[in-house]
Amino acid sequence: MYTIQGKGVSGGVANGPLCFYRRGDHDIAKHEIADTEAEKQRFESARQTAMEQLKALYEKAVAEVGEEGAELFEAHQMMLDDLDYVEGIQDLIDGEQVNAEYAVSQVAEQFAQMFASMDDSYMQARAADVKDISNRVIGILSGAVAGGIDSDVQVILAADDLAPSETVQLDKSKILGFITQGGSGNSHTAILARTMGIPAVIGTGDALREDYEGKTAWIDGETGELFVEADEITHERLSKKHAKQRAMKELMDQLKGKENVTIDGRKVMVYCNIGSPDDVDQVLANDGGGIGLFRSEFLYLQNNDYPTEEQQFQAYKTVAERMGGKRVIIRTLDIGADKQADYFQLAHEENPAMGLRAIRICLTRPEVFKTQLRALYRASAYGKIAIMFPMITSEWEVLEIKRICEGVKAELRKEEQPFDENIELGIMVETPAAVMMSDRLAKLVDFFSVGTNDLTQYTLATDRQGGNLDRFFDAHHPAVLRMIKMAADNAHKAGIWIGICGELGADISMTETFMALGVDELSVSPSAVLPLRSTIRSINTAENREKILEDLLK
């Protein structure tokens, strides 16, 4: 038995084979080929496989977001079938006697440059499409694994770490748990694990070796341990722990349909955080009262070009309809910092967490912002959508946002597009500036939502992604809690509600404190809803409020 110690960031235990995440190799080597006919056939076989994959993706997208939202995959099929593209690759294999991977990469570059040099913006955008389909074909030729998971069964996924753009494309149905060499408790791998309700361990370092590939292992997200080829005693102990975990889930399921209300009658909204329309299944399965944070940036991260208004509209509409009239708070794109999409072509920044990100991108690229807002307003006709804006620091930002929103609404009225005229607008409180200005900001919006991860990062000057800074990244720090109280007090003075949508909202050791601070809503991973409901129902807010506030403010 091999025992690996890391840090647990998502509780629970799981048992299964270890599978290491496989990234595609972007360095395409050039080889001389003797049998060009066989090489052309190899290319054709890969092209047909890619075509089948795109058809499957199209059908999946139609089911999830409708035909218009799936148009991209249909366009990719047409491009993959383009005679000039196919013959260009075949001619290069014949003429230079080169391997298919190299021929595809060269022709892809030629086509991409051709599209990029055109005056028409639509045709310029096709440069990313031709690279995307070509990378798919190259991946098939080189044996790369779609989605990074080379397994037909469920696995414990191992990696050095995973970028947000990688996590969003994973086949989540295959994952029992995560274990990574690096990362932090606030990494997107950890957040995804908590959303899925599966165990995750980070920070194992070099102890996590690729020669463990395929070996059966137990992962314990509570203790941060991984046991490879566990001995009989360990296997029996963790099997019992797994059984208790299932029993606890069954116990929690009995709370479905019950109110989130304290012993003294204080009602709390318990909502869910999601990253895609797929996550709604988990929200409904766990009896979430609404969606407090839909991270819309993941629609951007899974694309190779800016998602169209129609693509976004279909995604937002799907979520709104499936939630059946419950509030769905959609955060406008939070690209930047650790969430990078190449087609945004953001300049390198020494300190990206404080750079051009989130609302700053939206206000400097209003055409991108307006496309998203149009999709959001259109989708509001199909459910109770609210819009939330991240990284706010000043009044002028909110006033400019509202001016742009009014322009979008005027356009939609002129086009006779239906939308909710009374859609709620809120802001993320995740900077000290937003807290200090919360008395004025509260008069401009309908709600606040505290992003505790970033608020902690900016308040304590501690990088939330820095794995070696975990002991300094303290979301329980009195400075952070005092800021939440200040924002809550100012929200209530202005007659608006305040929630928490950061990971701290699911920390049941803090639930009573949040009630004392005046928090009205907690938005958490779907798997945390029922345990949080159980805690809320056991609290007497009136009994301990004064003491909690006295300890915090003394």
Helix (H) / strand (E) element for 202: namely strand 200-202
Task: Dihedral sign for Cα 418, 422, 423, 425, please.
Answer: positive
Does residue 29 form part of some domain? no
Q: Which of 552, 430, 418 is nearest to 501 (CA)?
A: 430
* Same-domain check for residues 468 and 412: yes
Q: Which residue out of 272, 362, 405, 501 is catalytically annotated?
A: 501
Q: What's residue 467's pLDDT?
A: 59
Q: What is the pLDDT of residue 45?
A: 95
Q: From the candidates 19, 188, 272, 362, which is the catalytic residue?
A: 188
Are 8 and 65 in a shared domain? no
Look at residue 56 in the predicted model and tell me its pLDDT.
Answer: 84
Phi-psi region of 265 (alpha: psi -120 to 50; beta: other; left: phi over 0): left
Residues 178 and 283 placed together within one structural domain of the fold = no
Give the end of a domain, one of 251, 286, 319: 251
- If asked whether residues 302 and 437 sit together in one domain, one would say yes
Total domains present in the chain: 3
Mark whether 62 and 156 lie in a shared domain. Answer: no
294 falls within a domain: yes
What confidence score (pLDDT) does residue 533 get?
96
Q: DSSP label at 440?
A: H
Name the residue type at position 46. Answer: A
Beta strand pairing call for 269-274 and 291-295: parallel
Residues 51, 166 share a domain = no
Is 28 a member of any domain? no
| pLDDT for position 128 | 73
Catalytic residue status for 188 = yes
Considering the domain boundaries, does residue 173 fall inside one? Answer: yes
The pLDDT value recorded for residue 150 is 76
Cα–Cα distance between 529 and 522 in angstroms, integer? Answer: 9
Q: For the domain that residue 246 is a member of, what is the CATH number?
A: 3.50.30.10
Domain's final residue, options 216, 251, 286: 251
Helix (H/G/I), strand (E/B), else coil: 159: strand
Query: Could you say which of 115, 144, 173 is where a domain stops?
Result: 144
Q: Contact 263/537 with Cβ under 8 angstroms?
A: yes
Q: In this structure, is residue 30 part of a structural domain?
A: no
pLDDT of residue 322: 95
CATH number at residue 363: 3.20.20.60
Q: Does residue 79 form part of some domain?
A: yes
Q: What domain range includes position 228?
A: 2-22+149-251
Verify that 365 and 492 share a domain, yes or no.
Answer: yes
* Contacts of 483 by beta carbon, 8 Å cutoff, 6+ apart: 432, 435, 455, 459
Clarify whether residues 413 and 279 are in a common domain: yes
Active site residue 492: no
Ordered mean pLDDT values, 10 residues apiece, the chain (554 residues): 93 94 73 93 94 84 67 85 94 95 93 84 73 86 72 90 74 90 77 85 93 95 95 95 89 92 95 92 94 91 83 93 96 78 74 79 93 97 97 97 97 96 96 97 98 92 72 88 97 98 89 95 94 95 86 78
Q: Are residues 218 and 298 in the same domain?
A: no
Which CATH number belongs to the domain containing residue 105 in this structure?
A: 1.10.274.10
The pLDDT score that the predictor gives to residue 144 is 66
Asked whether residue 237 falls in the same domain as residue 202, the answer is: yes
Q: At what angle do helices 100-116 and 36-65 cross, to 10 degrees?
A: 50
Looking at the structure, do residues 499 and 398 belong to the same domain, yes or no? yes
Let me know whether 375 and 464 are in one domain.
yes
Q: Is residue 186 part of a domain?
A: yes
Q: What type of residue sits at position 289?
A: G
Tell me what pLDDT residue 233 has.
95
Q: What confidence score (pLDDT) does residue 248 get?
A: 87
Residue 213 in any domain: the answer is: yes
Q: How far is CA 80 from CA 51, 87, 275, in A?
A: 7, 11, 30
